[in-house]
Amino acid sequence: MPEIEDGLLLSTNPATGEEAGRVPVADEKAVAQAVERAREAAAWWLGLGYDGRKARLLRWRSLLVGRIDELAEVTHRETGKPTADAVMETVAAVEHVDWAARHARKVLGPRRTRTRLLLAEHSGHLEYQPYGVVGVIGPWNYPIVTPVGPISGALAAGNAVIFKPSEYTPVVGQWLVDTFAEVVPEHPVLQAVHGFGDVGAALCRSGVGKVAFTGSTATAKKVMAACAENLVPVVIEAGGKDALIVDADADVPAAAEAAVWGGMTNAGQTCIGIERVYAVAPVYDALVKEIVAKAGKLRTGEEIGPITMPRQIDTIREHIDDALARGGTAVLGGADAVQPPYVAPTVLVDVPADSTEIREETFGPTLTITRVKDAEEAIRLANDTPYGLGGAVFGKKNAIRIARRLRAGMVAVNSTLTFVGMGNLPFGGVGDSGFGRIHGEDGLREFARPKAITVRRGPSVLPSMTFERTPAQIATIVKAVRLLYKGRP
Ligand code: NDP
């Protein structure tokens, strides 16, 4: 656990133990003060209108692009992840800021709805109004793109944001907030509050209008409980145990490459990382061989960075040990792969379905490969998990049909993780992986309340909502309703 010294949270590089930076720790009072400041900032920010906010968000996007190397270096220093991975993470974040900024007006702006015949003298109007102040609680594994998704959606919708980064990545979090303040210096529209879980809990109880949480399922339940006290709505982006299905007509080398990338990028510390592979019998042997060959080339300390959160190493070790103890075989890596702070790529086969390696989120560079009879069995096993975040399917004829049947919020066909890079697609899961969406139109609507307004345009022909209506008028209304709806199935 990071240390606190003189009120400052010390962040260290997990690979070297060197200090990555220090930030002030907040307490309940500081969180309350941040919310107060945010309320004023929110009023100003809302007053800028969609165009004013768009211009400023696009300026921030350009700053992120211009300083991509600096952000990647800060992230590399704090998480240990390879700089190239931090660059790619920033690229995805840039896409989400850009998309949210450009589409907020179209998705959330005022519009007329179609006239309803029985209330033809009224016009209907719909618009989406921001919550005011939104709390964003983020994890450490992707400290740029995971918070920037909800932050950009919330800001584009007209909210001010208070961001609580993970205690393991406060420096990256502060960098994001500081650079936003460079392009929006007038008011603290985006603020950070730092500290441990208690600061996140204080944010949930601080009077914010909505909380966007990204993190583990266990913490998500605590966040929901804290938010429930004041009926504060939440969007939950929690863990996953994503599966990749390889069908008989798949391009096997491409599937192997995707499994290795999807499972081992960021040392497997990816919410939408591939953890389980289900391959139909005809391609199973070739796939295992390809995966082992490709994963065997990855080097710890190079393509495979350190495990950022030290206690996660025990979980990874326990899962590997459990898989082996229950009869699984390591065809690459295995028990010796765990060399803190690194875990070498590990590929396990014949792992029984009740092993923790199959059932719980491992969050390390491990893959299980399971032989299945056909796609039906693959779908059944892939869906046999309380999680339902993402997934992938490799194949031709039936791939999209299989993708539709996976119980998950997002599925990539003939690739992995692709959906996180598309600003116009919603991101989020089902079951223990959470609910609500960030990114895309749904991700914008998540941060605004729909507001319905009706406007009378003239006198009522058939007055129904008044005590002054007559029996004859009611009879006419019933006749009209019969005419309008009776014949419709
Ligand atoms: P945690 O759940 O441990 O922490 C997430 C955040 O919640 C941190 O900022 C943490 O602060 C804070 N927090 C802890 N306790 C509380 C509390 N009681 N009330 C409010 N906030 C609290 O997750 P990790 O940081 O370990 O992240 C890894 C997890 O995140 C994995 O399960 C991963 O799958 C998931 N994830 C999901 C994604 C998605 O989009 N679905 C994307 C990325 C990750 P502190 O760190 O200071 O304890």
What pLDDT, in 10s, does the model give residues 246-285?
Answer: 999 999 999 999 999 999 999 999 999 999 999 999 999 9
Hey, whose CA ends up nearest to atom 8 of ligand 1? Answer: 166
Give the ligand 1 atom nearest the CA of 312.
26
* Of 27, 81, 141, 315, best ligand 1 pocket probe by most atoms within 8 Å of the beta carbon: 141
* Of 242, 271, 315, best ligand 1 pocket probe by most atoms within 8 Å of the beta carbon: 271
Sign of the CA dihedral with 195 first, then 197, 202, and 203 last: positive
Q: Mapping DSSP to helix (H, G, I), strand (E, B) and coil, where does residue 393 land?
A: strand
CA dihedral 282, 285, 289, 295 (to 10 degrees): 80
Q: For the residues 9-35, what does the mean pLDDT come to? A: 95
Q: For the residues 293-314, what does the mean pLDDT come to? A: 94
**Residue 223's pLDDT is what?**
98
**Residue 286's pLDDT is what?**
98
Q: Mapping DSSP to helix (H, G, I), strand (E, B) and coil, where does residue 213 land?
A: strand
Report CA(220)–ligand 1 centroid distance (Å).
8
Report CA(20)–ligand 1 centroid distance (Å).
20
Average pLDDT, the chain: 96
φ/ψ of residue 436, rounded to 5: 80, 170
**DSSP symbol at 338:** E
Distance (Å, whole) CA 361 – CA 242: 9
Helix axes 145-156, 83-108, angle to 10 degrees: 20
Is position 237 annotated as part of the catalytic site?
Answer: yes
**Listed residue (239, 136, 138) closest to 190, CA to CA:** 136
**Residue 20's pLDDT is what?**
95
> Judging by DSSP bridges, how do beta strands 210-214 and 133-137 pair with one another?
parallel
Percent of the chain with pLDDT over 90: 94
Distance (Å, whole) CA 379 – CA 396: 16
Going by C-beta distance under 8 Å and a sequence separation of 6 or more, which residues neighbour residue 268?
275, 316, 343, 362, 363, 364, 365, 366
**DSSP symbol at 9:** E
Report CA(470)–ligand 1 centroid distance (Å).
61
Whether the pLDDT of residue 71 is over 70: the answer is: yes
Query: Who wins on pLDDT, 471 or 6?
Result: 471
- What does the radius of gyration of the chain's CA atoms come to, in whole angstroms? 25
Report CA(219)–ligand 1 centroid distance (Å).
6
Give the ligand 1 atom nearest the CA of 222.
18
CA angle 365, 366, 367 (to 5 degrees): 130
Residue 339: CB atoms within 10 A of its CB come to 10
Hey, whose CA ends up nearest to atom 30 of ligand 1? Answer: 215
**Residue 488's pLDDT is what?**
61
Q: How confident is the model at residue 6 (pLDDT cuts 50, 70, 90)?
A: confident
Report CA(195)–ligand 1 centroid distance (Å).
13
Helix axes 252-264, 281-295, angle to 10 degrees: 50
Q: For the residues 463-473, what does the mean pLDDT come to? A: 92
Active-site residue identified among 78, 167, 237, 441:
237
Distance (Å, whole) CA 128 – CA 242: 34
Please list the residues that pair with 427 across neighbouring strands.
438
Tens digits of residue pLDDT in 422-448: 999 999 999 999 999 999 999 999 999
Tens digits of residue pLDDT in 177-217: 999 999 999 999 999 999 999 999 999 999 999 999 999 99
**Residue 33's pLDDT is what?**
98
Please list the residues that pair with 190 across neighbouring strands.
161
Give the ligand 1 atom nearest the CA of 427.
40
**Residue 484's pLDDT is what?**
87
Hey, whose CA ends up nearest to atom 4 of ligand 1? Answer: 215
Hey, whose CA ends up nearest to atom 16 of ligand 1? Answer: 197
User: What is this structure's pTM?
Assistant: 0.96
φ/ψ of residue 172, rounded to 5: -60, -45
Measured from CB, residues less than 6 Å from any atom of ligand 1 are: 137-142, 146, 164, 166-167, 196-197, 200-201, 204, 214-216, 219, 222-223, 226, 237-240, 271, 309, 361, 389, 429
Give the ligand 1 atom nearest the CA of 204.
20
- 269 contacts 362 by C-beta, under 8 angstroms: no
Active-site residue identified among 89, 95, 227, 271:
271
- 194 torsion bin: left (phi>0), alpha (psi -120 to 50), beta (else): beta
Tens digits of residue pLDDT in 221-233: 999 999 999 999 9
Report CA(216)–ligand 1 centroid distance (Å).
5
Going by C-beta distance under 8 Å and a sequence separation of 6 or more, which residues neighbour residue 394?
244, 245, 246, 247, 250, 251, 254, 255, 258, 413, 414
Q: How confident is the model at residue 118 (pLDDT cuts 50, 70, 90)?
A: confident
* Of 148, 203, 214, best ligand 1 pocket probe by most atoms within 8 Å of the beta carbon: 214
**Residue 489's pLDDT is what?**
62
Going by C-beta distance under 8 Å and a sequence separation of 6 or more, which residues neighbour residue 189?
38, 41, 42, 44, 45, 155, 160, 161, 180
φ/ψ of residue 83, rounded to 5: -60, -35
Tens digits of residue pLDDT in 361-399: 999 999 999 999 999 999 999 999 999 999 999 999 999
**Residue 461's pLDDT is what?**
83
* Of 166, 313, 316, best ligand 1 pocket probe by most atoms within 8 Å of the beta carbon: 166
**Residue 148's pLDDT is what?**
98
Report CA(200)–ligand 1 centroid distance (Å).
10
Report CA(138)–ligand 1 centroid distance (Å).
6
Percent of the chain with pLDDT over 70: 99
Q: How confident is the model at residue 113 (pLDDT cuts 50, 70, 90)?
A: very high
Q: For the residues 71-96, what does the mean pLDDT come to? A: 95
